[in-house]
Amino acid sequence: MKKLLFIFILFITSCGYQPIYISQNQDDFIFKKITLSGERQTNKTIINALAIKEKSTLNSNKELFLQADLKVEKTSKNSKGQITSYRSTVTVNLAIKEDNQTIKDKKFIQSFTYNNLDNKFDLTEYQNEIKKDIINKIIEEIIIYMNL
């Protein structure tokens, strides 16, 4: 057992393993200009979670374009015409440009399908929780994408 543990530690320390969520260069999240469009609350959540900063005195001409959209669709109805399920979809378009040339450009899409609730207040609260969860998944994908 001790030999197995020793070999495991030896491989982890010598293979160059690093956690994905650690950014090597904090300057990657500082931009000269940040342009946001689409749903305002989602954009702010992403900017705050990623600690993205805008600095107009920056030497490089890196610009960030972020467009977020939220769509809640009715996916099915019963025989009486009442809605039985919904789908919430969050789409985020991320583009990083430097000197008018696109460095990185990606579209992140996450969706979740759920059943209707009788109480509309509970339904609204549930939709807000789903939105938060979907945005957090997209934030994780963006972190991985920007660190690669």
- pLDDT of res. 20: 55
For the chain, the C-alpha Rg in angstroms (whole number) is 21
Q: What percent of the chain has pLDDT over 70?
A: 86
Which residue shows structure tokens 């009715």?
Answer: 74
CATH superfamily of 25-74+82-147: Lipoprotein like domain (3.30.160.150)
What are the sequence ranges of the domains in the chain? 25-74+82-147
pTM for the whole structure: 0.77
- pLDDT of res. 146: 83
- pLDDT of res. 93: 96
CA dist., res. 121 & res. 53, Å (int): 36
Residue 75 clears pLDDT 70, i.e. is over it: yes
Question: Mean per-residue pLDDT for 34-47?
Answer: 91
Residue whose C-alpha is closest to residue 88's, from 140, 50, 45, 39: 39
Tens-digit pLDDT profile for residues 85-119 = 999 999 999 999 988 888 889 999 999 999 999 99
Residue 140 clears pLDDT 80, i.e. is over it: yes
